[in-house]
Amino acid sequence: MSPAVAESPVSPDSARHAIDVLIVDDSVVVRRIVAKVLGEDSRFHVIGAVASGAQALEFVRTHPVDLVLLDMQMPGLDGLQVLPKLMADERKIQVVLLSGNCREGSELALHALAAGASDVVAKPSAGHFSDRFVEHLIDRLVHLVPPTERSRTPERVDQATARLRPPGNMVRAVAIGGSTGGISAMMTLLAGLEGNANFPIFITQHLPANFQALFAEQLRRATRLPVVIAEDGMAVRPGTIHVAPGRAHLSLAKDARGHVSIRLTNERCLHGSYPAVDPMFAGVARVYGAGACGVILSGMGRDGLAGAQAIAEEGGWLIAQDHETSAVWGMPGSVAKAGLASAILPPQAIADLIIGQWRAVA
């Protein structure tokens, strides 16, 4: 069966810089409503609307797609089965799951995000798309990747061919940033650090604010290290994971006695993410200098690049997740391509390198 073309296409001229969207839902009513809503917004170009996961996979093979709005519950392949197949596409398509049964902030929703979904949005029943829901959906979609960051994944660079910097010989603090596909990599990395780390660990993961508590709980399950959601003024604790909250950036401050504490900021960042990786990396560079180790995991865009530069300038060092294990190599790829990384490795090997460097001078 040929995929159905969306009922409300946008003209090529108006869509030239728009996000190309594919709608996947077994309800014809939902497909038409969502196509109409997005078709009336010049920031989107609805390129197609199909009824099944199989049709979606066929469609993306032959059409340029930036974003897939994917129904969670469908006959045949459901959203969670289709998601990894879409994420395997070399173009690194963004996927937002729409679900009438999967509550935003639920464990199932976080599982979808760990598998590579950019967001999960609770969907009202067909015919109940209120103006408030439409505004909510549009706001979530346009903040996924700002236009200036909507670039394709950088070409792969491996450990053998990259311009690598020497690894640092100190580990006083580790800051880990990730986005799409970063959660599963982060779990593996942290599992490799548990029982070894007495240095503070800071984490910024691009997530909607209502997922942060559950994300922190999953981190607690994945490691024996204590986990806290960062609060302004909180004293930094060695051997503890400090997670950036959903509505502010995590940064750091040091007083005259050398005590380090959390500072939450709402500074505007190029990438538009809350929380963003750049302020965390910059704060770690400022406070820990040559003892700062930054890790950049799977994610679209270039958040973390400016902060990585700050770490490098202060004598710290960085590790990028490799292309093969990343769902999206935009964030780690940008750091690797800039020649800022000391290593380009899979998550477990990242943990091994950090522990090896820490033990060498401990």
- Residue 337 — φ and ψ, nearest 5°? -65, -30
With vertex at residue 80, the alpha carbon angle to CA 77 and CA 83, rounded to the nearest 5 degrees, is: 90
Look at residue 272 and give its three-state secondary structure.
coil
Whole-number Å distance between alpha carbons of 148 and 51: 32
Match 């709005």 to its residue by tokens. Answer: 69
357: Cβ contacts below 8 Å, ≥ 6 apart: 167, 168, 169, 170, 171, 293
Told to judge if 143 belongs to the known catalytic residues of this protein, a careful annotator would answer no
Whole-number Å distance between alpha carbons of 12 and 276: 33
Whole-number Å distance between alpha carbons of 176 and 189: 10
Read off the tokens for 102.
């999967």
Q: What distances in angstroms separate CA 85 from CA 76, 81, 129, 159, 247, one per listed residue?
A: 14, 8, 29, 26, 31
Read off the tokens for 116.
């590579």
Match 């038409």 to its residue by tokens. Answer: 32
With vertex at residue 116, the alpha carbon angle to CA 123 and CA 60, rounded to the nearest 5 degrees, is: 80
Q: How far is CA 232 from the centre of its chain?
A: 23
Read off the tokens for 107.
């464990």
What is the 8-class DSSP label of residue 5? Answer: P
Whole-number Å distance between alpha carbons of 264 and 248: 6
Q: Which of 179, 184, 334, 342 is catalytic?
A: 179
Q: Which of 206, 249, 271, 323 is catalytic?
A: 206
Told to judge if 66 belongs to the known catalytic residues of this protein, a careful annotator would answer no
Give the Cβ contact number of residue 268 at 10 Å: 8
Q: Which of 20, 25, 278, 303 is catalytic?
A: 303
Read off the tokens for 240.
């503890």
Read off the tokens for 323.
């292309």
Told to judge if 303 belongs to the known catalytic residues of this protein, a careful annotator would answer yes
The number of CA neighbours under 13 Å toward the Cβ of 317 is: 19
Instruction: Specify the amino acid at residue 305.
Output: L
Q: Which residues are catalytic?
A: 179, 206, 303
